[in-house]
Structure 1
Amino acid sequence: MPRRTATMLASTLILIALFCAGLLIKVPYSEMSPGPTVNTLGEARGEPVLRITGRKTYPTSGHLNMTTVRVTGADYRMNLGEAVWGWLAHDSVVVPHDTLYPDGKTEEQSTQENAEEFSQSQESAKVAALKELDIPVATQVVVSTVVKGSPSEGKLHAGDVIKAVDGTAVKEPGDVAELVTKHKPGEDVTFTIVPADEAAAAEKAGRVPEGGRKITLTTEKAPATEEGGEEEDRAIVGIRAGTDHTFPFEIDIELADVGGPSAGLMFSLGIIDKLTPTDLTGGKFVAGTGTIDDAGKVGPIGGINMKLVGAREAGARYFLTPDDNCAAAASDTPDGLTLVRVKTLDDARKSMEQISAGKTDALPSCSAG
């Protein structure tokens, strides 16, 4: 066999071997890519994303699109070839698997956590929007979770409204722990609660849950906080307290197959637009992202660059960007997309008014570095 032919054959076989190895070798990485965007003022799967009943609403135009990131599943293991392709592609990012799924988190656990965060973000989006419009919202302290095998199991339930502990009214979730830890482990503590089903019925009717029944629990020692440590000499009853709200009218957010807290800002803006006569977008195509708390503070999110790509591909011209994500976003902004820096819901609303009026020269911008 001529030397040249033998060399070509050997090179071909090596390439085939490398290709096969790339398909077979699994690497500890996951991929992030742009996900779909959804107009919070529009519909998803034929249903309004935001539905408000019991309060006058107004026509809207334009777009206020929430953005998402598509990620490979927790149980999926990329091969070497996919990882290399992802590293070379501009519209995807390859990251260590543990970055997306820390501590060996399963796909089921991740999905459940994302669903809980999404639900909480909807609640906070409603609260922040109504507060921005000076519409009163009643807040209650509730049982968020009950620890299995704890003194509270079977006596307190998720959704129970906590009115008082030992006769002292509670106004914040932290008040509950503070009052319980005044006891020594083994002592009794008395909760005054409105059961979850009664509270839910009251909230559905737009009323603050009233009344209450007394439940006495025997406290126990807090478990060790570190592996191998001893139990703490601190009394607990095995619950986590949180907050719930009673809204003066009904606000439903319907969006399937989406998780995480990053749509909060855009939901809030959508609610504000529907509840005010002024057209917030002025017909413009605006997208954005950002968590939001009850006070209207906008927080950072992950996958900002993927969301920018998805927004621009959908047609967005402006992107509302959390302040803490600004530097990363500005380092790789798609052509034709203007970044607008926001720290609070009020910031975002004022920027939307500028965009609507076409007065965009003074918009707060993002800078790299």
Structure 2
Amino acid sequence: MPRRTATMLASTLMLIALLCAGVFIPVPYAEMSPGPTVNTLGDHDGEPVLQITGKKTYATNGHLNMTTVRVTSADYRMNLVEAVYGWLAHDNKVVPHETLYPDGKTEEQSTQENAEEFSQSQESAKVAALKQLDVPVKSWVIVSTVVRDSPAQGKLHAGDVIKAVDGTTVKEPADVAKLVTKHKPGQDVRFTIVPAKEQAAAEKEKRTPNRTQDITMTTTTSDDTGEKRAIVGISAGTDHTFPFTIDIKLADVGGPSAGLMFALGIYDKLTPGSLTGGRFVAGTGTIDDAGKVGPIGGIEMKTVGARAKGAQYFLTPADNCAAAAKDSPDGLTLIKVGTIKDALGALEDIRSGDTADLPKCGK
């Protein structure tokens, strides 16, 4: 066999061997790619995404699309060949596995966490939209979750309204932790609550709850990293009563990043005219009750997914602007927003066609 032929054959066999080995070599990475994008003003799986009853709504047009990212599952083990392909693919992103699933988080834990964040984002979107419309919303601090085998287990329950801690009135979820950590581990702390069942009954009957309870627990020591502190094993959140019903019908989506687009969709349906003027606007961003827009992950994937569906403008959280502007799809204008008010102002410019002064990312 000629030497040149032998060399080529050996090289080919070595390449095949390396490729085969790469298929079986697991690497600690996961992959992100553009996910579905859904118009919050339209239908999904045959029913409106936003359903409002008990309040007059108005016709809308155009698009206010929320965007998503697909990620590989927690138990998926990427091989070397897949990782290299993902690194080379323009529309995908390979990241360390722990970036998506920190501390060995399981698929079930991640799904549960994403579902809770999605539910909370819906509530905050409703509050932010109604506040922007000067519609009053009643809010109170509740027990969101109770940790198993903690001092609070069996004494406090999800949905209990926290009125006070040690006699001090609670106004925000953060107040609860501040008041508990004034104690040393092993000391007693007293919660004044309205039981969840009493609160639910009062809401149904449209009355003020008339029964409170004092619950005393002995604090224990936190087991997370950092300075040790007193805890009782709960997380506090906020619940609301709305003057009419707003339902968000969107399954198989998780995380908090659709908050801004839900809030804008609700606002559009409750106001005459069209926010978009018929344009295709997409976007992303968390939102809190006050209407502040927060950053999200996977911004590059979301802009790609939005443009592929036809988006002309993309509402981008201010803290994501730099990353988004590095590799923005052609034909997509990235607009920097920090609040729902910023987003409404940008939509007014888009609607009027006066887009020269839009706060664009990268300017």
Structure 1 residue 140 displacement after superposition = 0.7
CA gap 1:335/1:178 in 2 versus in 1, 3 angstroms: closer
| In structure 2, C-alpha distance between the alignment counterparts of 1:75 and 1:188, rounded to whole Å | 42
- What is the match of residue 233 of structure 2? 238
> Residue 13 of structure 1 aligns with which residue?
13
Show CA shifts across 1:189-216 (max 9, x none): 54332221332344456x4652123233
Distance 1:140 1:31, change over 3 A: same
Which amino acid letter does the alignment assign opposite residue 303 of structure 2? Answer: L
Alpha-carbon distance, 1:173 to partner: 2.4
Give the corresponding residue for 2:216: 217
Amino acid paired to 2:280 = F
- The one of 232, 250, 253 aligned to 1:255: 250
Contact residue 198 and residue 211 of structure 2 kept, 8 A: no
2:197 aligns with 197
1:316 to 311, 315, 335: 311
Q: Secondary structure at the match of 2:94?
A: strand
Q: 1:66 matched to which residue of 2?
A: 66
Please list, as runs of the form range in 1=range in 2, the aligned pairs for 1:82-161 lying within 5 A after superposition: 82-161=82-161
TM-score, with normalisation over the residues of structure 1? Answer: 0.92
Q: Distance between the aligned counterparts of 2:356 and 2:98, measured in 1?
A: 42
* SS across alignment from 1:68: strand
Task: Quickly say closer, same or farther: Cα 1:217–1:310, change in 2 above 3 A.
Answer: same
- Displacement of 1:167: 4.6
Structure 2: distance between partners of 1:56 and 1:213: 36
RMSD: 2.2
Kept in 2, the 8 Å contact 1:190–1:214? The answer is no
Cα distance in 1 for residues equivalent to 2:338 and 2:154: 42
Query: Quick one: distance in 2 between partners of 1:256 and 1:225?
Result: 33
Structure 2: gaps spanning 5 or more residues: none
What are the Cα deviations for residues 51-97 of structure 1, in whole angstroms up to 9, with x where unaligned? 11111110110100000111111111111111111111111111111
Q: 1:202 to 1:255 in 2, by over 3 A?
A: farther
Counting matched residue pairs gives 363
Identity, % of aligned positions: 74
- Distance in 2, Cα, partners of 1:268 & 1:49: 12
Corresponding residue for residue 277 of structure 2: 282
Structure 1 unaligned blocks of 5 or more: none
- In structure 2, what is the Cα distance between the partners aligned to 1:177 and 1:302? 27
Q: What corresponds to 1:365 in structure 2? A: 360
The superposition leaves residues 143-172 of structure 1 with CA deviations (integer Å, 9 ceiling, x where unpaired) of: 112232333222220001122345543222
Distance in 1 (alpha carbons) for counterparts of 2:318 and 2:15: 47
Conservation of the 8 A alpha-carbon contact between 1:184 and 1:219: no
CA–CA distance in 2 between the matches of 1:155 and 1:34? 44
- How far off is 1:238 after superposition? 3.2
Match of 2:337 among 331, 337, 342: 342
Give 3-state SS (helix, strand or coil) of 2:36's partner. coil
2:56 partner letter: K
Deviations, residues 211-262 of structure 1 (Å, cap 9, x unaligned): 12323323234345549x9x75x4x443332211111111111111111111
Supply the AA of the counterpart residue of 1:217: T
Q: Which stretch shows the higher mean deviation, 194-203 or 295-304?
A: 194-203
Aligned residue type for 2:348: E
Letter in 1 for 2:26: K
